Amino acid sequence: MKILQERARGGAMGEDLILRTSVSLLAPFIQLFSLYVLAHGHYSPGGGFQGGVLLGASFILMALAFDLKHSMQLFPLRANLIAGNIGALIFVGIGVICALLGGYFLDYAAFAKVIPMAVPDWRSLGILLVEVGVGLGVASIMLSLYWDLASGGHLEEGL
């Protein structure tokens, strides 16, 4: 606990070579697995939420093994803001476009009127597009929740 408090104040903690090497080797595989979970969410366990949480957790893991600044270099604050907003915009945008095309909110079959493709194909593709938006939003929100809680809102140093 004392070590953790020292670390939260930005004090030196000593560099653990094994921890840092293993985390920097492991994080790309976690990100790849998160993309797999996201892309196969509509016919196997997983989906946008779980993929997004895995993507956010890989950056949280980098922040824990190195420090807060390192994770903010990997996924900058501005990119985080843009990713979160684009994610929400994809979700709501697709829903509203479906409604404008004459269907219900998030009724993907309405897309078949604009781009001719079979209705079941559109239902499958639409849920994938929506899940990409959900994944982007969830990953960004998870990471910014961690940043704000760990650094007390200052985004300077933290856990």
Partner 1 sequence: MIWQLDLLILTLLVICAIGAITVRDLLSATMIFGAYSFLMCLLWAEMGAVDVAFTEATVGAGVSTILFIAAILRTSRRSKD
Binding residues for partner 1 (CB under 8 A): 1, 4-5, 8, 37, 45-47, 49-50, 53-54, 56-57, 60, 64, 142, 145-146, 149-150, 152, 158-159
Q: CB 10 → partner 1: shortest distance, Å? A: 12
Asked if residue 13 lies in contact with residue 19, where contact means CB atoms within 8 angstroms, the answer is no
- Report which secondary-structure segment, H or E, holds 75: none
Q: CB 142 → partner 1: shortest distance, Å? A: 6
For partner 1, give the closer residue by CB, 81 or 149. 149
d(Cα 62, Cα 19) in Å, to the nearest integer? Answer: 10
Q: CB 97 → partner 1: shortest distance, Å? A: 28
Residue 152, exposed/middle/buried by CB under 10 A (0-12, 13-18, 19+)? Answer: exposed
Residue keyed to tokens 């961690």: 146
For partner 1, give the closer residue by CB, 53 or 90. 53
